[in-house]
Amino acid sequence: MEYNFSDRVKDLGGNAIREIFKLLADPSVISFAGGFPTKTTLPTQLIATTTSELMSSSEAENILQYGSTEGYTPLRLTAIDYVRRYGINDINIDNTLIISGGQQGIDLTFKTFVNKGDVVLVEDPTYLAVLHILKTYEATAIGVDSGNDGLDLADLESKMIMHKPKVLYVVPTFSNPTGRTYSIAKRKAIYELAVKYNVIILEDDPYSELRFSGERVPSIKSFDKTGNVIYITSFSKTLAPGLRTGIAIGDPEVIRKMTIGKQATDVHTSSLSQAIINNFLSKSLMDARVSELIPLYLEKKNAMMSAIEKYMPKEFTYTNPDGGLFIFGEFDESLGINTMKLFPEVAAHKVAYVSGHSFFASEDKFNTLRLNYSNASLDQIDSGMKKLGDFFKKIIANK
C-alpha cells in the first residue's frame, strides 16, 4: 500500500549519529564518532552475580512481574539518596521517575510540555538527538550562543523574551558535544532567568561522574525552589548503556504528567535493569566504579589531546574538557573546510568523527567536528588522529 505517514515522521530520517553507527559496522574503522563507554570497562561479571543474587531473593518474582510506571519502588527510594551527590536534597519518592535511559527523560519532558509549533531553546551546539526528538513533536529548536562558560546570558534572555520558549534544554556538565562545564554563577543566573520568564529547564546530566580534573559543581536543579527544573541522569556512562535505565527528578505535578506519558509508551522500564541498578547503588558501589573508570578515561583524553597537538593542522582549535567523553574542534572559518562533505573521504581512510553541524540548531557550522575518546584504544587514538591530521593538512595545503 501507499503509506500516509503522520506529519511528525513523514520527512524524518534517522539522526546523524545513529546512521553513522551503521557505517561503522566495519571493525577496521577507528571510530571517534560515538559516545560509547569503553567496551572493556563494561561490568559483565557484576551483572551476572547481581542477577543471580536478585533471582534468588524474595524480590525475584516482583522483578519479573509487571511493575508500576513510576519505577521499581526500591530504586526510587535509593534514587532520593543517590541524587544528593548532585546537590539535590529535600525530595521524596513523588519527585522521582525511573526512565528507560536519559533519552526517554528528554522525550517525556517534551511530551509533557511541548505543543506543535512551540519553541525549545538549546545551547548551540547541543546534543543532536534533542533536535531529532523535537522534530517528532513538530516543535522548533532555537540555539542560544555559548562560550567557554556555557550559555551567553544576554542572548538567552533576549531569546526567552522573543520566543517565549516552553523549555530550555542544557547539558551543563561536560556538555555533549563540547565537553564544557558551566560555572556555578552561570547555573544560578540561568535558573533565575527561567523563573523570570516561566521556562522549564531540562537539565541533562549523564556525564558528571566522569570528572578527571577540577571541582564538582552542583546541578542547576540544586538551586530550584520553584519547580522549574527537571533533572535527568542515567547509568549509561557509568554502568552499562545496554540496561537503558535512568532517573528523572522533578516537581511531583510534573513527574505525574511524565508518568502518564510513560504509561502510554513502555508501561515501565525493564524491572531487571532497575533492580540491578538498585542493587549497585544500595551497596554504594558507584564511587569505587567511577574511581576505576576515571584514570582510564583521563589517559584516553590525554592521548587524544597529545595526538591532536601532534598531528592536526594549527588552524584547528579545540576544547579541553575536565571530564565526559568529547572534544569539540573547529577549523579556522576562512579555510572553508566542510567536515560533512569531507566525511565520506575521511571514512574511506577508516577513521570517523561526527561532523559538528549536526549539533547546531540555528546555524550549520560545517567547519566543526566532535571527537570521542572513550571508544578507541590508545594506539587507535594515535593512529586515527594521525590519519585525520594528515588528511586535513593535505586539504589545507591544496586550498
Q: Work out how close the CB of 30 gets to a copy of itself at its nearest, in angstroms, rounded to a whole number.
A: 17
Q: Which is nearer to a copy of itself, 240 or 312 (CB)?
A: 240
Q: Work out how close the CB of 214 gets to a copy of itself at its nearest, in angstroms, rounded to a whole number.
A: 27
Give, in degrees to the nearest 5, the angle at Cα 95 between 91 and 97: 135
Q: Which is nearer to a copy of itself, 154 or 260 (CB)?
A: 260
Residue 300: strand pairing partners: none
How far apart are the C-alpha atoms of 61 and 80, rounded to whole Å?
A: 24
Please report, as a single letter, which amino acid is at residue 13. G
H/E stretch holding 141 reads strand 140-144
CB 111 within 8 Å of CB 261? yes
Q: Work out how close the CB of 7 gets to a copy of itself at its nearest, in angstroms, rounded to a whole number.
A: 5
Q: Work out how close the CB of 16 gets to a copy of itself at its nearest, in angstroms, rounded to a whole number.
A: 11
How far apart are the C-alpha atoms of 351 and 205, rounded to whole Å?
A: 29
Q: Work out how close the CB of 154 gets to a copy of itself at its nearest, in angstroms, rounded to a whole number.
A: 23
Cα–Cα distances in angstroms (integers) from residue 3 to residues 6, 14, 86, 133, 295, in the given order:
9, 18, 47, 22, 52
Closest residue by Cα to residue 384 from 329, 342, 347, 340: 347
Q: Which is nearer to a copy of itself, 66 or 288 (CB)?
A: 66
Grid cell, residue 214, equals 577540577
Residue 331 phi, psi dihedral angles, 5° rounding: -90, 145
Closest residue by Cα to residue 383 from 20, 35, 30: 30
Q: Which is nearer to a copy of itself, 57 or 306 (CB)?
A: 57
Q: Work out how close the CB of 37 gets to a copy of itself at its nearest, in angstroms, rounded to a whole number.
A: 7
Q: Work out how close the CB of 254 gets to a copy of itself at its nearest, in angstroms, rounded to a whole number.
A: 6
Q: Work out how close the CB of 66 gets to a copy of itself at its nearest, in angstroms, rounded to a whole number.
A: 4
Cβ neighbours for 247, distance < 8 A, ≥ 6 positions apart:
79, 82, 83, 96, 97, 98, 99, 232, 233, 234
Grid cell, residue 25, equals 559496522
Axis-axis angle for helices 153-163, 184-196 (nearest 10): 20
Q: Which is nearer to a copy of itself, 313 or 324 (CB)?
A: 324
Q: Which is nearer to a copy of itself, 67 or 177 (CB)?
A: 67
Q: Which is nearer to a copy of itself, 107 or 330 (CB)?
A: 107
CB 346 within 8 Å of CB 393? no
Residue 119 region by backbone torsions, left for phi larger than 0, else alpha for psi between -120 and 50, else beta: beta
Q: Which is nearer to a copy of itself, 189 or 195 (CB)?
A: 195
Q: Which is nearer to a copy of itself, 254 or 303 (CB)?
A: 254
Grid cell, residue 131, equals 533536535
Q: Work out how close the CB of 103 gets to a copy of itself at its nearest, in angstroms, rounded to a whole number.
A: 5
